[in-house]
């Protein structure tokens, strides 16, 4: 198979455009959501985190397409996004009604977990501005046709928010493809988002339709099964150990069902405890499966956002080198580093990622 035909920097205003919801993450630190008396505030969102990582760690020019209720919480989320370096001109601001009857901004309460206590997330995101985005709200022809973007990223979290959110994804990816933009999609299955609207059956209906327009499909073992109906055989449901042959078989089945896929990438995580995971990744591209270095017993501070940071490193590898073997190493290393710091989003630098890829140690730098 041939390499992906990625547009040059000279042709485009943006390296990557993300479509998704951005929420206010409220983090109790080492405590519990149910007992804390203080929260640390961050921003976060599965699709947003990817473009933020591309900007902050990898120096790419990125933008976010989302919607926010026009109030003080929305202004705080925007301030976080501006600190992240993203272009926010495509944020749709929606008039706030004073109490959130018609529109609001999403909140995400997230505790990190420790040892035998797993991480826990509680989303409060019903009726948000982003969930109400619909076809026709965003001028995609202007974004992809006039300005130009080398890459577009979105995912299954945003698509699960409402019928119109899923329709907006399909509208966006169709126009992106029309203008030669590479489209990546992270399945990011969240049972809590689907359970009230049809569960796995609805998740598969929506995601299988979107998958027809995707070049680069990203997910983990649960994602591919729940969202696309593709079984990963031989794996322990508690993720104590992973059978790599099951993934390779799943990838072959995915390529047979969706021949438009040019790349399939999946993270490989075995969970020994909330703070010790083994972490790796594989990537199918150009007819070959590439395996990243497996990091056994990786010590983790905050696992939330690790998969998003994998995606941003993977995308960087393709944008910069258009090489699957290198891309999966950048993705796995960036994801590993992102999980050593708190919050959804990366604090890593490109030099740190490349040091880890090269086998560098954790000795002090001074």
Residue 155 lies in a domain: yes
Average pLDDT over residues 306-332: 98
In order of 183, 226, 241, 249, 283, the CA distances from 246 in angstroms are 26, 16, 12, 5, 14
Which of 49-53, 90-94, 267-271, 336-340 has the weakest average pLDDT? 267-271
H-state helical runs in 218-298: 221-228, 244-257
Sequence-separated contacts (24+) of 289-295 with Cβ below 8 Å: 289/248, 289/251, 290/324, 290/325, 290/328, 291/244, 291/328, 292/328, 292/329, 292/331, 292/332, 292/333, 293/329, 293/332, 293/333, 293/357, 294/268, 295/332, 295/336
Q: What is the pLDDT of residue 248?
A: 87
Q: What is the pLDDT of residue 240?
A: 55
Residue 72 lies in a domain: yes
Residue 2 lies in a domain: no
Residue 365 lies in a domain: no
Q: What percent of the chain has pLDDT over 70?
A: 96
Provide the 10 A C-beta neighbour count for residue 22. 34
SS3 content of the chain, % helix, strand, coil (to 5): 35, 25, 40
Residue 9 lies in a domain: no
Q: Is residue 165 predicted with pLDDT exceeding 80?
A: yes
Domain total for the chain?
A: 1
Residue 232 lies in a domain: yes
Residue 8 lies in a domain: no
Q: Is residue 303 predicted with pLDDT exceeding 70?
A: yes
Residue 98 contacts by C-beta under 8 Å, 6 or more apart in sequence?
Answer: none
What CATH number does residue 137 fall under? 3.40.1190.20
Residue 366 lies in a domain: no
- Domain with 224, as residue range(s), is 14-357
Average pLDDT over residues 123-133: 96
0.85 surpassed by pTM: yes
């Amino acid at each position: 198979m041939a390499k992906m035909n990625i547009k040059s920097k000279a042709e485009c205003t943006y390296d990557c455009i993300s479509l998704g919801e951005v929420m206010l993450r409220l983090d109790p630190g080492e405590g519990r959501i149910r007992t804390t008396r203080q929260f640390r505030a961050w921003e976060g969102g599965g699709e947003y985190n990817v473009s933020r990582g591309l900007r902050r760690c990898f120096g790419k020019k990125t933008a976010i397409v989302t919607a926010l209720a026009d109030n003080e919480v929305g202004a705080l989320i925007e301030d976080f996004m501006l600190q992240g370096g993203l272009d926010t001109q495509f944020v749709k601001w929606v008039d706030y009604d004073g109490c959130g009857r018609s529109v609001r901004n999403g909140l995400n309460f997230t505790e990190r977990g420790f040892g035998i206590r797993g991480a826990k997330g509680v989303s409060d995101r019903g009726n948000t501005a982003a969930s109400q985005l619909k076809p026709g709200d965003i001028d995609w022809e202007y974004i992809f046709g006039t300005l130009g973007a080398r890459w577009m990223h979105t995912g299954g979290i945003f698509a699960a928010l409402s019928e119109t959110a899923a329709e907006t994804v399909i509208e966006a990816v169709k126009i992106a493809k029309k203008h030669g933009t590479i489209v990546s999609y992270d399945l990011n299955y969240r049972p809590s988002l689907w359970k009230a609207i049809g569960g796995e059956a609805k998740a598969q209906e929506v995601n299988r339709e979107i998958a027809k327009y995707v070049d680069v499909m990203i997910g983990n073992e649960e994602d591919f099964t729940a969202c696309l109906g593709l079984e990963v055989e031989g794996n322990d449901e508690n993720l104590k150990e992973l059978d790599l042959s099951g993934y390779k078989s799943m990838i072959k089945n995915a390529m047979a069902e969706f021949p438009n896929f040019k790349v399939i990438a999946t993270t490989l995580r075995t969970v020994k405890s909330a703070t010790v995971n083994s972490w790796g990744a594989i990537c199918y591209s150009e007819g070959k499966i590439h395996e990243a270095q497996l990091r056994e017993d990786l010590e983790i501070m905050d696992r939330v956002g690790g998969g998003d940071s994998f995606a941003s490193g993977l995308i960087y590898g393709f944008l910069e080198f258009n090489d699957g073997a290198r891309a999966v190493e950048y993705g796995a290393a960036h994801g590993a580093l992102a999980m050593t710091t708190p919050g959804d989003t990366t604090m890593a630098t490109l030099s740190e990622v490349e040091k880890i890829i090269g086998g560098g140690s954790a000795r002090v730098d001074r």
